Amino acid sequence: MKIAFLSPFYPFRGGIAQFSDSLLAGLQEKNEVKTFSFKRQYPGLFFPGSSQYVLKDESQRSVQTEFILDSINPFTYSKTANEIIRYNSDLSLMSYWMPFFAPSLGCVARHVRKKGKKVISILHNVIPHEKRFFDSTLTKYFLKHNDAFILLNKKSENDLLSIYPKAKFITQPHPIYNHYGEKQNQDEAKRKLNIPLEKKIILFFGFIRDYKGLDLLIDAVSKLSDEYVLLIAGEVYGSFEKYNQQIEKLGIQKKVSLHARYIANSEVPLFFSAADVCVLPYKSATQSGITSIAYHFELPLIATNIGGLKETIYHNKTGIIIDLPDSMLIAEAIKNYFLQNLKSKFQDEIKLLKNQLSWSNLANAIIEFSKSL
């Protein structure tokens, strides 16, 4: 099948780009794919991080992309659509994750469908984590210009049908990332991070945003003994000052190993290898790409029962699901995890799961679904 794929790709950073790069590899195993991406994804004024791009010396993921779409320049919307139409694909595939992109992506989809071309979008989020009054209107505009959708969890099914009841879709689990390299020796990873070898390491990884509940995890760690260390690794969207103040107020500076910055792909193995467990204390979520990274390194997870997290983190098999985003419950779950020595048991289950969640399987599901429309 001939596929046009519009999405963020390398050198954009973040989970959507990494997802798209990995899916592209799966699609290219049996199909011809041409990728289209943003020449401007976010205006600098609206972007809360330090950069939208990976570091210059970061390993390239070898994605050959036509950078054409400017999210805030309407003249590029029709230009992008025309280039996709000119490619004459059997399927146009898009990534969608927030209403900000609904005008640009929706306009492209509308033009492409006018030419009789099939459009399917991967909905990473249907309803955004940080809501605004215009979200529903913009999302509806985007959705109505698609033929069908790929969802990654049951929570998204409910969200989609609440906004667009006649939507056609399939739901497939988020595959496991496989481009981060090999797991390192845990003691050596601790030494590189200047963490005493005897400490029990709790990892919080990824972009630091309010809805991810880092404040809850910091409070939970304050309720644990000094044998625990909270390893925080990720770029801050906004300011870290409120977390610094919380850490100081609780007097747990010595229990926190802080790396509040962008973590290059080459560094990812270091943090996941040093950790004993990864915690997702989210206050809202659909799914999390962090789960996929943790599984790659065979690291168990503890997560709140929010959104679709429990669909990929299997309670008492690959991790622990906490009923509510509550610091006391998080602290209790962490203590029980270590007291019951659950790490090796959960790792055995993760090894079995890794064989099922491949990018090839997702790619094949998308192709078969497209043919059925």
pLDDT digit string, tens, across residues 168-221: 999 999 999 888 889 999 999 999 999 999 999 999 999 899 999 999 999 999
What pLDDT band is residue 285 in, cutting at 50, 70 and 90? confident
Residue 171 DSSP class: E
> Measured between alpha carbons, how far is residue 40 from residues 11, 12, 46, 70, 329 in Å?
12, 10, 12, 5, 42
The pTM of the full predicted model, rounded to 2 decimals, is 0.78
With vertex at residue 315, the alpha carbon angle to CA 14 and CA 284, rounded to the nearest 5 degrees, is 40
Mean pLDDT of the chain: 92
What is the average pLDDT across 53-74? 76
Q: Are 338 and 310 in contact (CB under 8 A)?
A: no
CA dihedral for 144, 149, 155, 157, sign (positive or negative): positive
Q: Are 193 and 268 in contact (CB under 8 A)?
A: no
Residue 26 has pLDDT above 80, yes or no: yes
What is d(CA 10, CA 187) in angstroms, rounded to the nearest whole number? 32
* pLDDT (0 to 100) of residue 41: 86
* pLDDT (0 to 100) of residue 178: 82
Of 305 and 238, the structure prediction assigns the larger pLDDT to 305
What pLDDT band is residue 238 in, cutting at 50, 70 and 90? confident
Exposed, middle or buried by CB within 10 Å (0-12, 13-18, 19+), for 147?
A: middle
